């Protein structure tokens, strides 16, 4: 077991003292970096990049090499690897995002889906985690991740991205028992998927519930939060002599923070529509918080980025339990220098909140 040289990210998730607020950025390995675009071009396409553990490792490490302030690495992969491995045939249309060759829209479609055995069905992800962890050599912790059952279900039923989730919501209201069968299979597959990532070397995991915010209050509790709770209950809690924190991120989920805090998650991710100080008051000491600067701030000049970082740090206030991040993923058009200014500002301005 390689000793971590920088563990402030893990410490903050557990609300242990840190010297400065740790920072990482969702999609920090991605299209805003010219070195990423070059590696993707060499790989041929996005999925070829994901499915090559050495190249996935290379792009995971690229932001760490460029930005020494980063306090965590996140596995380079995609949330849709699970439905792809279930046989739906993931592909990417230019300008349209992810699509599936097959959809699941009937009870028979769902019945035919397998429950995944990650080591057999998604070997390339497990190998990528192990490769990245080895190459990190203790620089920073490695984050594994998955999409939530509800989010994956929407892609599988709709056949790709959707503005209104019409087919999935129709199933939810007309045939809830059918949707529950799909969610049950996803819970089992995702739990194994995350546990295999942990065993391969992931030191924290995040569940991306990208579309949970599209649900009504009652539907969110039943069809998004409860399945995520079941996953959290089934996860390996400690590995390599350390607790393995779980971050639960529902985009658009600020109204449900109290019930999310009861999910068993270690930390909650916040998007930029929720004030982090108010969120801290609402969840108390139950969970740490991650977030939550609007990604669009990175289009602004460095002095404005710095001012926004200061505002969020002040809102959270003194003490540990805050991991600084964006409220969603960095966008491809962001100037890499602006991302660097963001990371520098977090470390430079947060020390005052961690004294004593």
Residue 147 in any domain: the answer is: yes
Residue 297: pLDDT over 80:
yes
Residue 314 in any domain: the answer is: yes
Residue 292, preceding bond cis, omega within 30 degrees? yes
Residue 110 in any domain: the answer is: yes
At residue 97 the predicted structure's pLDDT band, cuts being 50, 70 and 90, is confident
Helices (H) and strands (E) in the chain, counts: 17, 11
Altogether, the residues listed in the chain come to a count of 356
Structure-token match 């996005």, residue found: 46
260: three-class secondary structure by DSSP: helix
At residue 1 the predicted structure's pLDDT band, cuts being 50, 70 and 90, is low
Residue 266: pLDDT over 80:
yes
pLDDT > 70 fraction of the chain, expressed in percent and rounded? 99
Is 203 within 8 Å of 242 (Cβ atoms)?
yes
**Of 7, 57, 89, nearest in space to 323 by CA:** 7
Residue 155 marked as a ligand binder: yes
Residue 99 marked as a ligand binder: no
pLDDT in tens, 201-251: 999 999 999 999 999 999 999 999 999 999 999 999 999 999 999 999 999
Structure-token match 């990532």, residue found: 197
Is 125 within 8 Å of 74 (Cβ atoms)?
no
Residue 28 marked as a ligand binder: yes
| Predicted local distance difference test score (pLDDT) of residue 92 | 85
Residue 3 in any domain: the answer is: no
Q: How many domains does the chain have?
A: 1
Residue 201 marked as a ligand binder: no
State the greatest distance between any 2 C-alpha atoms of the chain, in Å, as a whole number. 60
| Predicted local distance difference test score (pLDDT) of residue 2 | 75
Residue 134 marked as a ligand binder: no
81 φ, ψ to 5°?
-60, -35
103: three-class secondary structure by DSSP: coil
Q: Alpha-carbon distance 261 to 203, whole Å?
A: 21
Residue 143: pLDDT over 90:
yes
Q: Alpha-carbon distance 233 to 239, whole Å?
A: 15
Residue 29 marked as a ligand binder: yes
Residue 55 in any domain: the answer is: yes
Is 118 within 8 Å of 126 (Cβ atoms)?
yes
Residue 280 marked as a ligand binder: no
**Residues 273-301: what's their mean pLDDT?**
97
Residue 170: pLDDT over 80:
yes
Residue 1 in any domain: the answer is: no
Is 77 within 8 Å of 30 (Cβ atoms)?
no
Q: Find the DSSP H helices in the chain.
A: 8-13, 34-43, 46-50, 53-66, 81-83, 107-111, 118-121, 123-136, 149-158, 166-174, 176-200, 217-220, 226-233, 257-261, 276-283, 302-316, 336-350
Residue 188 in any domain: the answer is: yes
Residue 97 marked as a ligand binder: no
**Residues 174-189: what's their mean pLDDT?**
98
| Predicted local distance difference test score (pLDDT) of residue 279 | 98
Q: Alpha-carbon distance 271 to 329, whole Å?
A: 10
Residue 323: pLDDT over 90:
yes
Residue 194: pLDDT over 80:
yes
DSSP 321: -
Is 142 within 8 Å of 199 (Cβ atoms)?
no
Residue 119 marked as a ligand binder: no
Q: Alpha-carbon distance 199 to 253, whole Å?
A: 30
Residue 242 in any domain: the answer is: yes
Is 274 within 8 Å of 233 (Cβ atoms)?
no
Residue 179: pLDDT over 80:
yes
**Of 9, 294, 293, 49, nearest in space to 143 by CA:** 9
**Domain that residue 220 falls in:** 8-354
Q: How many CA atoms lie within 13 A of 56 on its CB side?
A: 25
Task: Round the average pLDDT of the chain to a whole number and report it.
Answer: 97
Lowest mean pLDDT among 86-100, 129-143, 147-161: 86-100
Residue 295: pLDDT over 80:
yes
Active-site residue list: 27, 31, 40, 78, 155
CATH number for the domain harbouring residue 297: 3.20.20.210
Residue 135: pLDDT over 90:
yes
Q: Both tokens of residue 190?
A: 């995702």
């Amino acid at each position: 077991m390689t000793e971590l040289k920088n563990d402030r990210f893990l410490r903050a998730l557990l609300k242990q003292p840190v010297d400065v607020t740790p920072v990482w950025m969702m999609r920090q390995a991605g299209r805003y970096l010219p070195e990423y675009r070059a590696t993707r071009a060499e790989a041929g396409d996005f999925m070829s990049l994901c499915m090559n553990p050495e190249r996935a490792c290379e792009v995971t490490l690229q932001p760490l090499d460029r930005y020494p302030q980063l306090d965590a690495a996140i596995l380079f992969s995609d949330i849709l690897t699970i439905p792809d491995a279930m046989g739906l045939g993931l592909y990417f249309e230019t300008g349209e995002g992810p699509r599936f060759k097959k959809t699941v829209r009937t009870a028979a479609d769902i019945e035919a889906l397998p429950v995944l055995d990650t080591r057999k069905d998604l070997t390339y992800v497990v190998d990528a985690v192990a490769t990245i962890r080895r190459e990190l050599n203790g620089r920073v912790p490695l984050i594994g991740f998955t999409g939530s059952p509800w989010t994956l279900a929407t892609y599988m039923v709709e056949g790709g991205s959707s503005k209104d989730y019409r087919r999935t919501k129709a199933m939810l209201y007309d045939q809830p028992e059918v949707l529950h069968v799909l969610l049950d299979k996803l819970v089992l597959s995702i739990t194994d998927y995350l546990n295999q990532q942990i065993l391969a070397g992931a030191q924290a995991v995040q569940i991306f519930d990208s579309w949970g915010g599209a649900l009504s209050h009652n539907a969110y509790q039943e069809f998004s939060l409860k399945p995520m709770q079941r996953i959290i209950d089934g996860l390996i809690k400690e590995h390599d002599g350390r607790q393995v924190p779980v971050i639960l991120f529902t985009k658009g989920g600020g109204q449900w923070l109290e019930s999310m805090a009861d999910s068993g998650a270690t930390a909650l991710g916040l998007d930029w529509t929720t004030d982090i100080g108010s969120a801290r008051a609402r969840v108390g000491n139950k969970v740490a918080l991650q977030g939550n600067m609007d990604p669009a701030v990175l289009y602004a000049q460095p002095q404005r980025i710095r001012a926004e970082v200061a505002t969020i740090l002040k809102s959270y206030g003194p003490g540990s339990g805050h991991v600084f991040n964006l409220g969603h993923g960095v966008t491809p058009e962001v100037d890499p220098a602006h991302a660097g200014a963001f990371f520098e500002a977090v470390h430079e301005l947060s020390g005052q909140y961690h004294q004593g």
